[in-house]
Structure formats: structure tokens, C-alpha cells
């Protein structure tokens, strides 16, 4: 995911820039108080981007909910 796209989504989720570091910028959701570092790379791996967005979204946001875990056996249930 492009960094600019991730920053747009963070802003939509209510995240605000709290400080700029050497290699990361820190964003916080003022509603929840959760802070997350965002690396200063042009491309950010999708898995990391999803993690950052999940941490910064408010708990009432439907996009934060985890997928249904009851769809059969997981890899540890064999």
C-alpha cells in the first residue's frame, strides 16, 4: 500500500500526527488514546498497514471487527 493512501485512511479513522521521528511518524487516535508508528517508506506492506489501521480505528468502527473464527478448524485444531 502506498504511504499516502495509508495516511489518508488514518485521517479518515480519526488519527492525528503527534510527532515526527527519524524513521517513523507517530499517529494517535484521540478517542481511544492508542498511538502507532508509521514508517516513512513509499510502500508499506499490506499486513502492516492493516495492523496500523486496526489499532487506530475506534472500537465501534465495523471495519475493526475481526473475521468470524467459527468457519472450521484452524491450523492448530488438527
| CA–CA distances in Å: residue 75 to residues 34, 47, 66 | 31, 19, 17
CATH of the domain at 18: 3.30.920
Is position 67 within any domain?
no
Contact 39, 23 (CB under 8 A): yes
Instruction: Write out the residue range of the structural domain in which residue 18 sits.
Output: 3-57
Within 10 A of 30 (CB to CB), how many other CB atoms are there?
A: 11
pLDDT digits (tens, 9 = 90+) for 8-51: 999 999 999 999 999 999 999 999 999 999 999 999 999 999 99
Domain count for the chain: 1
In DSSP terms, which residues pair with 2 in a beta bridge?
Answer: 43
pLDDT bin (cut points 50, 70, 90) of residue 63 is low
Is position 51 within any domain?
yes
Global confidence as pTM = 0.73
Is position 77 within any domain?
no
Q: Can you read off the three cell numbers belonging to residue 11?
A: 485521517
Is position 70 within any domain?
no
Pairwise CA distance, residues 7 & 70, whole Å: 33
Amino acid at each position: 500500500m502506498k504511504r499516502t493512501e495509508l495516511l489518508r485512511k488514518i485521517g479518515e479513522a480519526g488519527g492525528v500526527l503527534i510527532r515526527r521521528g527519524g524513521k517513523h511518524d507517530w499517529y494517535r487516535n484521540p478517542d481511544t488514546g492508542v498511538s502507532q508508528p508509521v514508517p516513512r517508506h513509499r510502500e508499506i506492506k499490506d499486513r502492516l498497514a492493516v495492523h496500523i489501521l486496526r489499532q487506530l480505528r475506534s472500537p465501534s468502527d465495523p471495519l475493526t471487527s475481526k473475521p468470524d473464527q467459527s468457519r472450521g478448524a484452524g491450523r492448530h485444531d488438527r
